[in-house]
Copies of this chain bind each other. A is one copy, B any other.
Amino acid sequence: MTWEDNVRRAVPYVAGEQPQRSGMIKLNTNECPYPPAPGVKAALQELDWEALRLYPNTDAAELAEALADYYGIAPEQVFVGVGSDDVLAMSFLTFFHSGRPILFPDVTYSFYDVWANLFGIPYKLCALDEEWHIRPEDYMAVNGGVIFPNPNAPTGVAESLDTVERIVRANQDVVVIVDEAYVDFGAESALPLLKKYENLLVVQTFSKSRGMAGMRIGFAMGSPKLIGYLKNVKFSFNSYTMNYPSQKAGVAAVKDEAYFRLVTQKIMDTRKRAKEEFRRLGFAFPDSMANFLFVTHERIPAGELFAALRKADIYVRHWDKPRISDYLRVTIGTDAEMDRLFAFLRDYLSSN
């Protein structure tokens, strides 16, 4: 026996490529094309750098309070983590502990099965319908918990609050997690349901709509009991996860609602234009409520387009997976970036 026989073998999640060349167009990881709120810059520049010698607040209390304030809930209903991936990983570890299979869509965020495998949580995939919608009845079976993004990724399709509530209501013996990473671009949040359901966890992030992927801030909102269990696991893992600069920068971002509205509206406007343009070029797509579009072309296979775009230094996302291999996920960039994308596509499609 060697030491390697005693090691956990994990098959990691593969994130989108992160090349950073000037001139390239990066539409592959759903980042915000605009910088964070100006207050974030000020918060970082005025940071009491000598205070870095001290451990940060374990609960990121100031940030949790700012979020509670903004969303009209109590601070003990907020949990913050190092990006929503940290929050979701902790939630899997905390809430999906029954031994029964958890349920999530067959086409969804590809980290869910990675976490389930890492923690030995059994799971069952529920197929989306032909229009990429959740079939609520699939989530009525006995299960160990439910998770789905709303809007879903990589489709961008949003479910109504009514659909979400049907699923939460039918599963009050387990925890239902609604992953709202993309909710700020026109979808309905499940937040109002927190008043009625103790078993609901709503997870959001600063990485998309607040333009702060580099800062790593995610958060969850739920009943004080639910958040309490999550904190106990978090504090069994790492007392101090969110560093001092993130706590300060996070607060500054939350406090600038006008900038937040401006940026999300700009992205929705560009998405509208992009839809028209894609349609003109022979692409089809489900109606997206996220900061990306999930497009398929009537003639050219997605794999071929992906490769051609990559050669032109335009990065989008493509998965060689069942049901979605003929689609590209294209992040909504600035208008100028989208113009360059469409100029390339027009040219490519006219000569291929």
Chain A residues with CB under 8 Å of chain B are 1-15, 18, 20, 26, 29, 31-36, 40-41, 44-45, 47, 49-58, 82-83, 85-86, 89, 93-98, 100, 114-115, 117-118, 144-145, 172-175, 198-199, 207, 211-216, 225, 229, 231-246, 249
Q: How far is the CA of A2 from the CA of B212 in the complex (A)?
A: 37
Q: With a CB–CB cut-off of 8 A, which chain B residues contact A98?
A: 5-6
In terms of DSSP, what is the predominant structure of the interface of chain A? loop
What chain B residues lie within 8 Å of A97 (beta carbons)?
Answer: 6-8
CA distance A233 to B13 in the complex (A): 9
Give the number of times this chain occurs in the complex, counting copies: 2
A52 to B245: give the CA distance in the assembly, Å.
12
B13 touches A35 (CB 8 A): no
CB distance from A115 to the nearest CB of B (A): 7
A241 and B82 within 8 A (CB):
yes
The list of the 5 closest CB pairs from A to B, nearest first, reads A12-B235, A214-B244, A6-B98, A52-B214, A35-B50
A175 touches B231 (CB 8 A): no
Given that A11-B232, A58-B15, A117-B236 are known contacts, is A53 also in contact with B82, CB under 8 Å in the complex? no
Which B residues are CB-close (under 8 A) to A144? 6
B236 and A15 contact, CB distance less than 8 A: no
**Residue with the highest number of chain B CB atoms closer than 10 Å, among A55, A174, A246:** A55
The answer to whether A216 touches B237, judged by C-beta atoms less than 8 angstroms apart, is no
Q: Is the CB of B238 within 8 A of A94?
A: no
